[in-house]
Structure 1
Amino acid sequence: MMSYISGLVQDFTTYYPIFMTLIWIIGSWLSSFHFNNEKSNEPNTNEKVTILMSIFNEENHIVETLSSFTQLTYANFDVVVVDDKSTDNSVNLVKNWLDKHDSVPVRLIELSKNLGKAAALNQAIKQIDAPYILVTDADAILAHDVIEELLKQVTDKTVAAVTGKPVVRNRTTLLAKLQTLEYLGIIDRIKRAQDFLYGGIMTVAGVVVLYRREALMSVAGFDSTAITEDIDITWRLRKKNWRIRYTPHALVYILAPETIHGYVKQRVRWSVGGIEVLLKNLKWTFKGTNKRQKLLLVDVCLSHIWSWTVIITSIQYLVVTIDTQTFSLPGVVIMIYILLFFSMMLQGILQDHGQSQLGVPELFVIPFYSTFYWITVLITAIMSQLNVAFFHKQRGSWSSPDRGR
Structure 2
Amino acid sequence: MADFFLYLSLFLIWFMLFYHVFLMFGGYRYFLQHPEIKEAWDEHPGEMPSVSILIPAHNEEMVIQDTIESMIQLKYPKDKLEVIVVNDNSSDATGMILDDYARKFAFIKPVHTKPPHGGKGKSGALNQGLKHSTGEIIAVYDADNTPEPEAIYNLVLGLNNDKKAGAIVGKFRVLNAKQNLLTRFINIETLTFQWLAQAGRWSWFKMTTIPGTNFAIRRSILEELGGWDEKALSEDTELSFRVYNLGYHIRFFPSAITWEQEPENLKVWWKQRTRWARGNEYVIGKFLFRPSQINNKKVPVDLFYFLFIYLLFFGGIIISHSIFVANLFFDLDLSIGNVAIILLVTGFLMFIAEVWLALSFEKNQLTFKNALIAILMYFVYSQLWVILVACATFLEVKRVIFKQDVQWYKTQRFEQSGGK
1:6-405 aligned within 5 A: 6-40=5-39, 41-42=41-42, 43-75=45-77, 76-99=80-103, 101-102=104-105, 105-113=107-115, 114-116=118-120, 117-154=122-159, 155-170=161-176, 171-201=178-208, 203-283=209-289, 290-303=296-309, 304-324=311-331, 330-354=340-364, 362-372=370-380, 374-391=382-399, 395=405, 398-405=408-415
Task: Report Cα offsets for 1:363-401 as digits up to 9, x if no partner.
Answer: 541322334453244223222221111135575655331
* CA apart distance, 1:72: 1.2
Aligned length: 399
Q: Is the CA contact 1:56–1:398 (under 8 Å) kept in the aligned structure 2? A: no
- Distance across 2 between alignment mates of 1:396 and 1:165: 29
Partner AA of 2:241 in structure 1: W
Unaligned runs of 5+ in 1: none
Taking structure 1 as reference, are residues 250 and 161 closer, same or farther at Cα in structure 2, changes over 3 Å only? same
Query: Given the superposition, is the C-alpha separation of residues 360 and 290 from structure 1 closer, same or farther in structure 2, using an over 3 Å criterion?
Result: same
Query: In 1, are the aligned partners of 2:23 and 2:196 still within 8 Å (CA)?
Result: yes
Q: Counterpart of 1:59 in structure 2: which amino acid?
A: E
Compared CA separation, residues 110 and 319, structure 1 to 2 (3 A):
closer
Write the distance in 2 (CA, Å) between the matches of 1:255 and 1:302: 29
Matches of 2:291 and 2:255, distance apart in 1 = 30
- Describe the superposition over 1:335-385 as per-residue Cα deviations: whole angstroms up to 9, x where unpaired: 42343233222321232245xx67775454132233445324422322222
| Deviations, residues 63-121 of structure 1 (Å, cap 9, x unaligned) | 1111111221122322111212211111111122334x43x621112224324222222
Contact 1:225 1:394 survives alignment (8 Å): no
Return closer, same or farther for 1:249/1:128 CA change in 2, 3 Å cut-off: same
Deviations 1:301-349 (A, max 9, x none): 2222222232222222223232349997944324423432332223212
Distance, in Å, in 1 between the alignment partners of 2:292 and 2:3 is: 28
Structure 1 counterpart SS, 2:111: strand
Structure 2: distance between partners of 1:295 and 1:195: 13
Distance 1:349 1:112 in 2: 43
Taking structure 2 as the reference length, what is the TM-score of the superposition?
0.86
Assess, with a 3 A threshold, how the Cα gap between structure 1 residues 80 and 169 changes in structure 2: closer, same or farther.
Answer: same
Question: RMSD of aligned C-alpha atoms?
Answer: 2.7
Cα pair 2:12 2:312 within 8 Å, conserved: no
Amino acid corresponding to residue 313 of structure 1 in structure 2: S
How far is the alpha carbon of 1:124 from its aligned partner?
A: 2.0
Q: Give the corresponding residue for 2:418.
A: none
Alpha carbons of 1:394 and 1:167: their partners in 2 closer, same or farther (altered >3 Å)? farther
Residue by residue over 1:20-78, the C-alpha shift from the partner in whole angstroms, topping out at 9 and shown as x without a partner, is 33122122123234423312222344111111112111111111111111221122322
Q: Which moved more, 1:34-43 or 1:51-60?
A: 34-43
Between 360-369 and 44-53, report the one with greater CA deviation.
360-369
Q: 1:165·1:247 contact (CA, 8 Å) conserved in 2?
A: yes
**Equivalent residues of 2:154, 2:256 under 8 A apart:** yes
**For residues 261 and 219 of structure 2, what CA distance do their matches in structure 1 show?**
27
Partner AA of 1:31 in structure 2: Y
Q: Could you say what secondary structure the match of 1:126 adopts?
A: helix
Q: CA separation of 1:320/1:134 partners in 2, compared to 1, >3 Å: closer, same or farther?
A: same
- CA positional deviation for 1:164: 1.4
Unaligned runs of 5+ in 2: 416-420
Tell me, yes or no, if the aligned pair for 2:123 and 2:235 is still in contact at 8 Å: yes
